[in-house]
């Protein structure tokens, strides 16, 4: 089910991004250097050490931007990884896949025009638990209130290697290890 939602989100993003990617970079003389942004998607293997860990396939979406004239890279990353204990919709600590919200800070370590290597530290938060009083009318929570969500820290690293517009890489956190594929623009 998560894969279907992910793919249904990715298709409109790809359609919207295609005019940007189709532009002639050589025609933008005077603008910032070409290929300063990277968009990636990732998928991989969950780290599941016990029976109460979620073992759904983790995935992530991310964006990195190199500041003009500097090697500093900043970005953001949204992931579906790890375990969240869900006590909503009448469940009692059901094992679900957690969502993580992360910031990326790093540097460009190699850049010779067509070939590039970037490395970034990933810091963020990940859902740990969702809890609320049980609803007797079929709502997620009593009186249709929002659930209380607790978060844990999320940390890791992202390494990408790019050739022209194609980017491949690895994203590793305490919850999953993922292979990345993306585009520079």
pTM recorded for the entire structure: 0.75
Mind listing the pLDDT tens digit of every residue in the chain (185 residues)?
444 454 455 445 444 444 444 443 444 444 445 679 999 999 998 877 666 677 789 999 999 999 988 999 999 999 999 888 877 776 777 788 999 999 999 999 998 888 999 999 999 999 998 888 777 777 777 777 788 889 999 999 999 999 999 999 999 999 999 999 999 99
> Would you call 57 helix, strand, or coil by DSSP?
coil
Q: Taking the domains of the chain in order of start, what are their residue ranges?
A: 2-184
- Please state, in angstroms and rounded to a whole number, the distance separating the CA atoms of residues 15 and 26: 22
Residue identified by tokens 């990345």 is 180
| Side-chain-facing half-sphere of 146: CA atoms under 13 Å | 3
Instruction: Look up the CATH number of domain 2-184.
Output: 2.40.160
Beta strands, E only, the chain: 37-46, 59-66, 72-87, 94-111, 115-131, 148-163, 166-173, 176-184
């Amino acid at each position: 089910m998560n894969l279907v939602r992910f793919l249904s989100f990715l298709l409109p993003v790809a359609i919207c991004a295609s005019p940007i990617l189709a532009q002639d970079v050589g025609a933008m003389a005077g603008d910032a250097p070409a290929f300063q942004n990277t968009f990636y998607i990732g998928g991989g293997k969950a780290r599941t050490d016990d029976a109460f860990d979620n073992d759904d396939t983790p995935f992530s979406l991310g964006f990195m931007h190199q500041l003009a004239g500097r090697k500093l890279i900043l970005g953001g990353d949204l992931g579906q990884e790890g375990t969240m204990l869900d006590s909503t919709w009448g469940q009692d600590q059901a094992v679900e896949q957690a969502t993580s919200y992360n910031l990326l800070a790093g540097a460009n370590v190699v850049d010779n025009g067509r070939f590039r290597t970037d490395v970034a530290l990933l810091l963020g938060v990940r859902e740990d638990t969702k809890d609320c009083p049980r609803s007797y009318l079929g709502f997620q929570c009593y009186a249709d209130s929002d659930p209380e969500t607790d978060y844990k820290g999320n940390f890791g690293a992202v390494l990408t290697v790019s050739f022209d517009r194609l980017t491949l890489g690895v994203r590793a956190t305490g919850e999953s290890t993922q292979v990345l594929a993306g585009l520079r623009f």
